[in-house]
Each structure stands twice: as C-alpha cells, then as structure tokens.
Amino acid sequence: MRRKIVVGNWKMNGSLASNERLLKALVEKIPQAISVDIVVCAPYPYLFQTQSYLKHSPIFWGAQNVAKFESGAFTGEVSVSMLKEFGASYVIIGHSERSTAYCESDENIATKFMMVKKAGMTPILCVGETLIEREAGIMEKVVSKQLDTIIEMYGEEIFDETVIAYEPIWAIGSDLAASPEQAQAMHQFIREKLSSNTKVIKSLKIIYGGSVNPQNALQLFSMPDVDGGLVGRASLNASDFESICHSAEI
C-alpha cells in the first residue's frame, strides 16, 4: 500500500496574521508520527513564514507555480532555486486555474515539471478535463494529451518519484466532487498509462483534487488508485485539513 500524501493548496489566500493562526494550529494538531505525507503550498510571499513555522514539524511546504527559466530578465517570475532557498520541497505545476487564466501550454508545463525535478523538488502535476469534455466522454483523451507532452519531451521515467493530481475542472471550487468511482477510474487509467516503467509504477503517487472535504475524503482515499488529495478551500481551516489528513492514514 503506497503511503498517501495530502497537499493543501492555499491558492491566493492568507495574511501574516491568519497564516500564523493556521500554521500554529496545524503544528499543534498534526502528530509527528502521522503516517501520511502532508504538504502546504502557500503563496510566494509567505514561504519564509511557512518555513519558519513548519521546519520542525512533519509538514512539508511548497509553492503553487514556478518559472520555466533558471534565472534572468523575466519580470515577476520566481525560479526553482529561489523556492529551494525557502526550503520548498513540492511545487504544484499546471493547475487549471493557471493554465486557463494565463494560457499555459502543455509544453510550458512540461518544462516546469522537468525544472522542478532537476532542482531536487517534487512536482505535483495537475491534469483534468472540463465538464463538456467529460460529458463528451473524452476525459481520458484530454488527460492523455497532457501526459504525452511530458513523455515525448522527457521520457516516461521523468514521472519517477513525482505526484500527479487528477483534478476534474468541473469539481474544483464547486462542492461537486467526483464520485469515488469516477476518481478511481481516471486514477487507474493514469497509472496504467504509465505502467511500462517499473520505477515509475512503484514511486508515482496519483492524488485527487476537486472539492475534497472532511465528509468525502475517507471514501475517496479508500479507492485503490487514489493516493491522497489536493485540497483547496478545506486546507484553509485547520480542523478540516487535519480531518482530511487523518482520512488518508493507512
């Protein structure tokens, strides 16, 4: 049974004061011996604060995006080396809220994915379909295309020791989570697509994102190919996030 991982994506939320309350509560609530990998991905300006509160806890921290360049004249961008300086160990790549708002191409996402791995951090690659694509029955084709771009550019082995988050776009922020069966079907599809590489199949974690909450987490995480969750709104509430993390314990 793969050790599960629960990632909190704060998105563009927080303040120094509210973050202090949330981080202190998480450190207090999450036991050192918890059998789940837990990550919080804060907005860039709060990485120093996240590092200072979490560095002696079992909770990892990370970012919600990164530049595809090493360094240079790229105004407003943040590089992998800058994230490393703040102890980040995970980076969310290709979240649909970014790829739609900023027209991020599959190629750009693939390059960022590679940059994060090259820097020794763990990329969390977001894939998923729209409601129209699901209703048309082409969700597997859509997710395949997102993965194929990375495979064509860097080979399947790049997925070794990484995380893929299946996030049906229609379930994000909607309180209409995918059913456990829907999640399992897509996670199984993704795992089978990447199953020819034995290293990958052993180390790849596939997590579900889209309206995960304390009420549905246990059912979702009990599915055989669901290795945890990528949690938005519920990660901003310490008790809810704690409950979701405990639901992922084996």
Binding site for ligand G3H (CB under 6 A): 9, 167, 172-173, 209-212, 230-234
Nearest residue to ligand G3H by CB is 232
Task: Give whichever of 88 and 230 is closer to ligand G3H, judged by the CB atom.
Answer: 230
Assess contact for 60 and 70: CB atoms under 8 A: no
Smallest gap from residue 209 Cβ to ligand G3H (A): 4
Residue 170 labeled ligand binder: no
H/E stretch holding 221 = helix 217-221
Smallest gap from residue 167 Cβ to ligand G3H (A): 6
Largest CA distance in the chain: 48
Q: Which residues of 167-190 are buried (b: 16+ CB within 10 A; e: fewer)?
A: bbbbbbeeeebbebebbbbbbebb
Task: Give whichever of 149 and 211 is closer to ligand G3H, judged by the CB atom.
Answer: 211
167 an active-site residue? yes
Smallest gap from residue 39 Cβ to ligand G3H (A): 11
The closest of 157, 238, 235 to 199, measured between CA atoms, is 157
156 an active-site residue? no
Number of residues that this document lists for the chain = 250
Q: How many CB atoms lie within 10 A of CB 64?
A: 20
Task: Give whichever of 183 and 200 is closer to ligand G3H, judged by the CB atom.
Answer: 183
Residues in binding site: 9-11, 173, 211
Residues in binding site for substrate: 9-11, 173, 211
Q: Which residues are catalytic?
A: 95, 167
